[in-house]
Amino acid sequence: MAESSVVLADNVLRTCRICFDTNNPKDFISPCLCDGGSAYVHRKCLDEWRAVNKKGRAFKYCEVCQFEYVIEPILDDPVIDKRRLLIFRLLVTRDVTLILLLFQAIIVGLTFLLQWADKKNHIIKDIYPTSMSSFGIYYLSSLIIFFAILGLFGLIGACCGWITTDEPCYCGCYQCYFFGMGCQNCNGNNDCNGNGSGGGSVILIIIVILAVIGLAIGIILGGILLSKIMKRHTNKLWLRQETKKYIVKDFQGKRHELKIISTRQSSTGLSIRNPIANNNTKITPSAPVEKAEAHF
């Protein structure tokens, strides 16, 4: 048997109940009343689960046996707290930077695609002043097209009920009919001698209008969506740092203490964070974006 494997006295192999791995035996802990195959878990796996669990309750409680984890004595160290806060801010900065880089990658990719498609006729390039650089022309065009597409989907969403409100809305998805209006001159021979030269201007105007709408929709909805995503994500990042402060106690070989604590909790309702007495102190990680206490 590998050295990394750990075997119980009854020859049952210890397995992490989260990652189902038997490696890293020194990292195994027994934090709650769960027994059998669920008795052990890697501390790293448990801390990750405490941080990213959707319901948030797992930061303090075992979701299987509902045991409230006993937390090791907390030592307030301003230096360590500042370090954890700095790490948190660096992680948030990293994620925001990655999102911006992804957006720029999409725009730049579209820029080169437009430049390739317009290399023969120069239809897009002829719209702009000759003083502008070639890359600037197609980059700006890519931004306009991106927001135009966003505006188009925004209008479709508004008409087809993708955008919901608290008030009753009777807006349905309507069919759009295009009627071919013949160009009738005085002789009635449908000849305006225009050669379709006005079509490009109409399309350009439509694209610009959609781009303006898309810009407004992008700012509003993008801001709301980004705020929700970042709030949820930053809370997870912060809780990952908080798990290093609120360390779950290991009860390997001390199962009798767990039973005593559980009995005391059931009979008196005291907080088991301090098994000796109820100090009325709650585990409330002070997340800067949103109080983690709201999740519990």
Residues 107 and 210 in one domain: yes
Cβ(229)–Cβ(45) below 8 Å: no
| Residue 38 and residue 61 in one domain | yes
- Residue 227 sits in the same domain as residue 98: yes
pLDDT confidence band for 10 (50 / 70 / 90): very low
174 inside domain? yes
User: Between these two residues, 277 and 39, which has the higher pLDDT value?
Assistant: 39
Q: Are residues 37 and 70 in the same domain?
A: yes
Same domain (yes/no): 213, 148: yes
- Confidence band of 278 (pLDDT split at 50, 70, 90): very low
Q: Using the 3D structure, point to which of 220, 239, 258 is the last residue of a domain.
A: 239
What was the pLDDT predicted at 50? 84
Asked if the structure places residue 268 within a domain, the reply is yes
Domain that holds residue 266: 25-74+247-295
- Cα–Cα distance, 112 to 138 (Å, whole number): 8
Average pLDDT over residues 103-120: 89
Angle at 25 between CA 23 and CA 30, to 5 degrees: 115
Separation CA 278–CA 225 (nearest Å): 42
Residue 91 tokens read as 């992680």
CA dist 209 and 216 (Å) reads: 11
Strands annotated E in 41-168: 41-42
Classify residue 46: in a domain, yes or no.
Answer: yes
**Interacting residues of 11 by C-beta distance below 8 A, sequence separation 6+:** none
* Nearest residue to 292 via CA among 234, 250, 211: 234
Residues 159 and 287 in one domain: no
Distance, in Å, from the CA atom of 24 to the CA atom of 44, rounded to the nearest integer, reads 10
Q: Which residue has the higher pLDDT, 277 or 130?
A: 130
CA 66 – CA 120 distance, rounded (Å): 69
Any domain includes 203: yes
> Looking at the structure, do residues 60 and 92 belong to the same domain, yes or no?
no
Question: How many beta carbons lie within 10 A of that of residue 196, not counting itself?
Answer: 7
* pLDDT bracket for residue 101 (50, 70, 90): very high
Query: Domain for residue 8, yes or no?
Result: no
The residue out of 202, 221, 239 marking a domain boundary is 239
Residue 16 counted as domain residue: no
198/272 same-domain check:
no
For residues 261-286, average pLDDT: 50
Give the range among 98-102, 117-121, 148-152 with minimum mean pLDDT: 148-152
Q: Which amino acid is at 6?
A: V
Q: Do residues 171 and 230 share a domain? A: yes
Picking from 50, 46, 74, 45, the residue whose alpha carbon sits closest to that of residue 60 is 50
Same domain, 229 and 216: yes
- Residue 124: pLDDT above 50? yes
Give a yes or no: residue 10 inside a domain.
no
* Residue after which a domain boundary falls, among 213, 239, 265: 239
- Residue 113 and residue 90: Cα distance in Å, rounded? 34
Number of folded domains in the chain?
2
Looking at the domain assignment, is residue 3 inside a domain? Answer: no
Whole-number Å distance between alpha carbons of 87 and 206: 47
Q: Looking at residue 40, what is its pLDDT? A: 86
Residues 56 and 99 both lie in one domain: no
pLDDT category at 55 given cuts 50, 70, 90 is low
Instruction: Say yes or no to pLDDT of 182 above 50.
Output: no
Same domain, 68 and 147: no
Length of the chain: 296
What share of the chain has pLDDT > 70, as a percent? 62
